[in-house]
Amino acid sequence: MLGILQDQAAKALADIASMKAAGPKENVPGTNWSVTAMRKAEITAKLKKGLCHEFRPAGMGQGLLLDTKRRVSWAKPSPVIAEFFGVKNVWTTSTDCD
């Protein structure tokens, strides 16, 4: 039992060290999501290539799809997210992740 607890503690400490190494997170405006500077750059590059990006919860819940094109009629424009990622337009669509 003690070995299992020590393994779990070691994994938790490794995760904490990894999160600290990634640096501080920045909130994506108008959402509950946050990104590190490196992740923000990766998402920006995807959006600038015309690809989409999806934020998904670790478990069940609501995700958020970002796209630079309006592919569905219920997508909502988000100028603040577009500005955050440095692209002309961003359309958002809520996704169900159950």
- Tens-digit pLDDT profile for residues 66-76: 999 998 999 99
Do the Cβ atoms of 62 and 55 come closer than 8 Å? no
Q: How far apart are CA 39 and CA 18, in angstroms?
A: 14
Evaluate if residue 88 carries a pLDDT over 80.
yes
Q: How far apart are CA 51 and CA 64, in angstroms?
A: 14
Look at the block and give the residue holding tokens 């999160």. 19
Do the Cβ atoms of 44 and 83 come closer than 8 Å? no
Q: How confident is the model at residue 7 (pLDDT cuts 50, 70, 90)?
A: confident
pTM, two decimals, is: 0.78
